[in-house]
């Protein structure tokens, strides 16, 4: 296993960095924090023109047919530039479940439009219990003729208010095993009975509370088999965790780069603060954490891509490590910047707040350490 980037990945990284440096400046990131939609339709269109929405979608459905490790390369650059918008929800939480479990008709109906940037999607999974596990899915779906009727509330649904469709996990039967009886539905986000409420978050990202009241879904929009949706959700969660880790790698790297430059330029007691040993130690610790994040993330991405037996273990190890290591990096960044680091006028706080958001998404360090312990039978 070679975790170095191949020539194609180097080209993807370099092009994405040049593109996002031009098209996603700090000013746009700040504007999107205040914008209700939370994304730029112009930037979305330009990213679609680069083929990024279809990066991992098979070529037969209009995508590029690239690999999970390629997606990790791209998302690292997204973290570096704090790209706003529903890219991960659409590609990872929308397209990927359809790739895994969709019928041929569903794949033909959704995937080409996602690849072209014409559809925005997300997954509605977590509920008021805030559990990532199957027993957290309590939303009910009952069958009436050729339709299903959904009732319940979903929380922390990324970018739901701007989506065209949501992949919704609901319980269609109850059994001794909570992983049984969960069904996935492709729900039109403008269906009668759906209400969206934007939540206030530390990162000013666009998470929603979504309420379903007698929402009718045609039978043809059941994704996969009735009552057997959890394995699809589980596999999607693994990719979402890898995506979060990749984003955190780029975020932590850029936070470190900004902090290093500041330490070289900020003069105190007649010399740059980077010359003081205490600052040097913090920067050295940050380098170790950033490199550790990158290594374990690409190992997890490769393991998931190749369906390695230890893929789930590697993903949980990566998310546990990246969640805490990136938190240490941004904390060092704040401390080295001093008081200016806590002002909204300076950009380092953007990385601090976004880190906390992605640290919690798809399970924090404690959640994934518990999964690691279970896998190792500790």
Last-in-domain residue among 92, 119, 146 = 119
Please, how many CA atoms are within 13 Å of residue 115, restricted to the half-sphere of its CB? 22
Last-in-domain residue among 119, 154, 186 = 119
Q: Establish if 27 belongs to a structural domain.
A: yes
Three-class SS state of 339: helix
Three-class SS state of 296: helix
- What is the residue range of 147's domain? 122-229
| Euclidean distance between CA atoms 190 and 353, whole angstroms | 31
Last-in-domain residue among 87, 119, 151 = 119
pLDDT in tens, the chain (378 residues): 667 888 999 999 999 999 999 999 999 999 999 999 999 999 999 999 999 999 999 999 999 999 999 999 999 999 999 999 999 999 999 999 999 999 999 999 999 999 999 999 999 999 999 999 999 999 999 999 999 999 999 999 999 999 999 999 999 998 889 999 999 999 999 999 999 999 999 999 999 999 999 999 999 999 999 999 999 999 999 999 999 999 999 999 999 999 999 999 998 998 999 999 999 999 999 999 999 999 999 999 999 999 999 999 999 999 999 999 999 999 999 999 998 888 888 999 999 999 999 999 999 999 999 999 999 986
| Euclidean distance between CA atoms 251 and 161, whole angstroms | 25
Q: Establish if 298 belongs to a structural domain.
A: yes
Residues 258 and 315 in one domain: yes
Q: How many domains, the chain?
A: 3
Residues 163 and 265 in one domain: no
Residues 93 and 135 in one domain: no
Residues 88 and 138 in one domain: no
Residues 338 and 239 in one domain: yes
Q: Check residue 1 and give its pLDDT.
A: 63
Q: Establish if 144 belongs to a structural domain.
A: yes
Q: Establish if 247 belongs to a structural domain.
A: yes
Q: Check residue 339 and give its pLDDT.
A: 87
Residues 183 and 285 in one domain: no
Residues 186 and 213 in one domain: yes
Tokens standing for 70?
């390629």
The CATH number covering residue 323 comes to 1.20.140.10
Q: Establish if 1 belongs to a structural domain.
A: no
Residues 208 and 261 in one domain: no
Q: Establish if 207 belongs to a structural domain.
A: yes
The CATH number covering residue 149 comes to 2.40.110.10
| Euclidean distance between CA atoms 328 and 325, whole angstroms | 5
Residues 98 and 188 in one domain: no
The CATH number covering residue 54 comes to 1.10.540.10
Residues 247 and 367 in one domain: yes
Residues 103 and 128 in one domain: no
What 3 state SS string does the chain have? CCCCCCHHHHHHHHHHHHHHHHHCCHHHHHHHHHCCCCCCHHHHHHHHHCCCCCCCCCHHHCCCCCCHHHHHHHHHHHHHHCCCCCHHHHHHHHHHHHHHHCCHHHHHHHHHHHHCCCCCEEEECCCCCCCCCHHHCCCEEEEECCEEEEEEEEEEEECHHHCCEEEEEEECCCCCCCCCCEEEEEEECCCCCEEEEECCCCCCCCEEEEEEEEEEEEHHHEECCCCECHHHHHHHHHHHHHHHHHHHHHHHHHHHHHHHHHHHHCEECCEEHHHCHHHHHHHHHHHHHHHHHHHHHHHHHHHHHCCCCCHHHHHHHHHHHHHHHHHHHHHHHHHHHHHHHHCCCCCHHHHHHHHHHHHHCCCCHHHHHHHHHHHCCC
Q: Establish if 258 belongs to a structural domain.
A: yes
Three-class SS state of 217: strand
Q: Establish if 30 belongs to a structural domain.
A: yes
Residues 341 and 238 in one domain: yes
């Amino acid at each position: 296993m070679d975790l170095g980037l191949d020539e194609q990945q180097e080209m993807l990284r370099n092009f994405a960095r040049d593109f996002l440096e031009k098209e996603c400046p700090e000013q746009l990131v700040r504007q999107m924090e205040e914008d209700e939609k939370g994304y730029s339709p112009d930037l979305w269109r330009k990213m679609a023109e680069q083929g990024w929405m279809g990066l991992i979608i098979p070529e037969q459905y209009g995508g590029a047919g690239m690999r999970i490790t390629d997606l990790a390369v791209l998302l690292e650059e997204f973290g570096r530039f704090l790209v706003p918008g529903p890219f991960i929800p659409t590609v990872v939480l929308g397209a990927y479940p359809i790739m895994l479990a969709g019928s041929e008709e569903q794949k033909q109906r959704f995937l080409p439009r996602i690849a072209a940037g014409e559809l925005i999607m997300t997954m509605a999974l977590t509920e008021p219990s805030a559990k990532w596990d199957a027993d957290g899915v309590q939303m009910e779906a009952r069958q009436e003729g050729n339709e299903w009727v959904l009732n319940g509330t979903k929380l922390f649904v990324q970018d739901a208010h701007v989506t065209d469709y949501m992949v919704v996990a609901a319980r269609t039967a109850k059994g001794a095993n909570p992983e049984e009886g969960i069904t996935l539905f492709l729900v039109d986000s403008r269906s009668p009975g759906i209400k969206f409420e934007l939540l206030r978050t530390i990162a000013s990202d666009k998470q929603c509370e979504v309420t379903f009241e007698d929402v009718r879904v045609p039978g043809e929009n059941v994704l996969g088999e009735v009552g057997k949706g959890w394995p699809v959700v589980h596999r999607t969660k693994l990719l979402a965790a890898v995506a979060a880790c990749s984003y955190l790698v780029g975020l932590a790297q850029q936070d470190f780069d900004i902090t290093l430059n500041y330490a070289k330029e900020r003069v105190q007691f007649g010399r740059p603060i980077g010359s003081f040993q205490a600052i040097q130690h913090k920067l050295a610790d940050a380098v170790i954490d950033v490199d550790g994040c990158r290594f374990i993330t690409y190992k997890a991405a490769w393991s998931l891509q190749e369906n390695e037996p230890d893929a789930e273990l590697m993903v949980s190890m990566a998310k546990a490590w990246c969640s805490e290591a990136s938190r240490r990096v941004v904390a060092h960044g704040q401390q080295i910047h001093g008081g200016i680091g806590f002002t909204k006028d300076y950009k380092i706080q953007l990385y601090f707040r976004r880190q906390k958001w992605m640290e919690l998404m798809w399970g924090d360090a404690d959640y994934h350490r518990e999964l690691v312990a279970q896998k190792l039978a500790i």
